[in-house]
């Protein structure tokens, strides 16, 4: 089958086809995208209606259009995933012979050139190979590989880009994992469930890409281009965060725990608006999936009001997940010769030592751009103030009702819940 590529405004492209051919229908997958793709689809819908063309959209994930309530969502998801896989058509009759555009280069789309040097190869063949390798050799140790970036690159499935770009279908991945009948498969099975659970939120409420889930949490943070740039380049002066960010810049991928950690660092310690840091990450991720991404950005920034607030301590994360500083030394070359006792906190090296070595803090590597303890305390105080406003928990309970699974809805947030209760939810990892 020949693939014809057309570049341009979708309405002009379809119009061109309707002038050349008798178009009976348009077939596509359902997309839960960004605000602009949503707007594009609405425009196209009114165009196809006017032109009397049927547009058939097919569900690609366990995400359901026009869903008002979450009741029975899990059953629907199960049903969708257990349906029979559709085989590739053996032969496709190919009638259309029109010229194809070539695949546009980033420059022609006004995009920056791609500096991501270590990204994995795309395509269906690569995706299938990765899925098979994971099922055969990696599934048993998967759960133990999730947290540390030292293990995650090899131990996580890294199927996310293939799912995002449609190289693999969610149904075929779920079925391949379940076929193993291993107890260990449960950990990844539930994550595949989360994939659709989060996308469903954006499908139901597309505004979540831009505005805070809980209105009381809106407009609390402040833009700071200098902080944002230092964070994005891996130059915050906190070695483990910087190593993770630089690794992401080279791979376009990093594990969940590290994504959560540097998003939390941007939102709490640096107090940056999640819309700005989230956009910066979206541009780096090769698996950018709007529904997961924006809901996760909000969760890690405490703006949903229904999820446990986790303010990660990036220094402690470093000691926990990279105790010898191997990951830091790989990605933050400036620190590679530091003794392990200082690798996570180079500011502890006394001046005498610095004077007698080639390493000078503030010259070879930045001093921390914020005081981790003070900035965490300030963030907590600001959250406390917002959460103690009248009506906060009533709104939070409505959000819970609309977006959560039945199980989590059973534990309703208490009305007039005071800060002592809220404080228990603050998993402050110091
Ligand atoms: C701030 C932030 C932004 C994120 N943005 C994205 C994004 O744009 N695209 C994306 O696919 N994931 C995103 N995630 C979720 C998660 O980090 C990735 O899905 C996961 O790291 C992908 O690696 P993997 O394929 O090896 O996952 P595995 O651990 O092997 O899991 C298999 C699959 O399950 C799904 N999955 C796993 N963890 C999660 C999760 N926490 N939430 C939802 N689905 C999950 C993914 O489809 C993943 O491919 C984000 C997380 C955070 C904290």
The pLDDT tens digits for 94-107 are: 777 788 999 999 88
Domain boundary, last residue among 58, 77, 94: 58
Ligand 1 closest atom vs CA 198: 43
Q: Which of 158, 256, 303 to mutate to test the pocket of ligand 1 (most atoms within 8 A of CB)?
A: 256
Domain-located, residue 163: yes
Distance of CA 219 to the CA centre of its chain: 22
The verdict on 345 and 324 lying in the same domain is yes
Q: How confident is the model at residue 416 (pLDDT cuts 50, 70, 90)?
A: very low
> What's the pLDDT tens digit per position in 193-246?
999 999 999 999 999 999 999 999 999 999 999 999 999 999 999 999 999 999
- Banded model confidence at residue 350, pLDDT cuts 50, 70, 90: confident
Let me know whether 259 and 393 are in one domain. yes
Q: Residues 235, 331: one domain? A: yes
111 pLDDT tier (thresholds 50, 70, 90): confident
Which domain does 155 fall in, by range? 121-204
266 falls in which pLDDT band (50, 70, 90)?
A: very high
Nearest to 156 by CA among 184, 109, 188, 116: 188
Across the strands, what pairs with 57? 28
Q: Which atom of ligand 1 is nearest to the CA of 260?
A: 53
Query: Do residue 167 and residue 28 come from a single domain?
Result: no
Instruction: Consult the annotation and say whether 288 binds a ligand.
Output: no
pLDDT of residue 367: 96
Q: Quick check: is 105 in a domain? A: no
Mean pLDDT of the residues in the chain: 91
As a whole number of angstroms, the distance between CA 138 and CA 135 comes to: 6
Q: Nearest-CA neighbor of 162 among 60, 259, 286, 285? A: 286
Same domain? 353 vs 374: yes
CATH code, domain with 143: 1.25.40.80
Check pocket membership of 300 for ligand 1, CB cut-off 6 A: yes
Ligand 1: atom nearest CA of 195 is 44
| Domain end call among 149, 171, 204 | 204
- Tell me, yes or no, whether 99 lies in a domain: no
Looking at the domain assignment, is residue 68 inside a domain? no
Pocket test for ligand 1, best of 287, 295, 311 (most atoms within 8 A of CB): 287
CB atoms within 10 A of CB 125: 10
The answer on pLDDT for 256 being more than 70 is yes
pLDDT at 38: 95
Contact 152 CB / ligand 1 (< 6 Å): no
Name the nearest CA neighbour of 18 among 67, 55, 73. 55
List residues bridging with 311 in a β-sheet.
428
102 within domain boundaries: no
Ligand 1 in reach of 284 Cβ (< 6 A):
no
Q: How many residues does the chain have?
A: 430
pLDDT of residue 271: 98
Q: What is the pLDDT of residue 109?
A: 86
Question: What is the Å distance from ligand 1's center to 380 Cα?
Answer: 27
Instruction: Please check whether residues 275 and 382 belong to one and the same domain.
Output: yes
Residue 278 belongs to domain with CATH number: 1.10.579.10
Same domain, 374 and 295: yes
Question: Cβ(265)–Cβ(37) under 8 Å?
Answer: no
Write the pLDDT tens digit of every residue in 285-300.
999 999 999 999 999 9
Residue 170 within any structural domain of the chain: yes
Same domain? 416 vs 315: yes
Residue 213: per-residue pLDDT: 94
Number of domains in the chain: 3
Strands (E) across 72-199 are located at none
């Amino acid at each position: 089958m020949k693939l014809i590529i057309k570049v341009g405004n979708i309405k002009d492209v379809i119009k061109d086809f309707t002038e050349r051919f008798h178009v009976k229908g348009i077939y596509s997958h359902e997309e839960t995208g960004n605000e602009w793709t949503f707007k594009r689809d609405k425009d196209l819908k009114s165009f196809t209606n006017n032109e009397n063309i049927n547009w058939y959209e097919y569900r690609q994930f366990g995400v359901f259009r026009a869903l008002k309530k979450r009741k029975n969502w899990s059953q629907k998801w199960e049903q969708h995933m257990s349906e029979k896989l559709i085989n590739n058509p053996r032969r496709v009759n190919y009638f259309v012979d029109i010229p194809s555009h070539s695949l546009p280069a980033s420059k022609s789309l006004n995009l920056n050139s791609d500096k991501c040097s270590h990204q994995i190869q795309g395509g269906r063949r690569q995706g299938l190979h990765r899925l098979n390798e994971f099922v055969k050799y990696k599934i048993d140790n998967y759960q133990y590989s999730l947290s540390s970036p030292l293990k995650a690159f090899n131990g996580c499935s890294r199927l996310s880009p293939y799912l995002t770009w449609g190289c693999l279908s969610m149904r075929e991945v779920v079925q391949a994992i379940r076929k193993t009948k291993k107890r260990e498969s449960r950990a990844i099975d539930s994550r595949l469930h989360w994939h659709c659970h989060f996308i469903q939120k954006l499908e139901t409420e597309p505004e979540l890409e831009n505005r805070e889930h809980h209105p009381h949490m809106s407009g609390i943070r402040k833009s700071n281009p200098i902080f944002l740039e230092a964070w994005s380049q891996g130059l915050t002066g906190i070695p483990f965060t910087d190593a993770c960010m630089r690794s992401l810049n080279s791979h376009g991928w990093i594990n969940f725990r590290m994504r959560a950690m540097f998003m939390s660092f941007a939102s709490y310690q640096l107090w940056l608006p999640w819309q700005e840091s989230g956009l910066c990450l979206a541009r780096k991720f090769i698996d950018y999936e709007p529904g997961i991404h924006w809901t996760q950005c909000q969760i890690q920034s405490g703006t949903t009001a229904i999820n446990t607030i986790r303010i990660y301590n990036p220094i402690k994360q470093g000691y926990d997940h990279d105790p010898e500083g191997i990951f830091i030394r790989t990605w933050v070359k400036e620190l590679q010769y530091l003794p392990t006792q200082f690798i996570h906190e180079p500011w502890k090296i006394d001046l005498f030592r610095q004077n007698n070595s080639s390493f000078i803090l503030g010259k070879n590597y930045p001093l921390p751009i914020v005081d981790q303890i003070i900035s965490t305390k300030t963030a907590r105080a600001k959250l406390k103030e917002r959460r103690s406003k009248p009506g906060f928990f009533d709104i939070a309970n409505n959000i819970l009702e609309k977006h959560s699974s039945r199980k989590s809805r059973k534990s309703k947030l208490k009305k007039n819940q005071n800060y002592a209760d809220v404080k228990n939810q603050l998993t402050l990892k110091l």
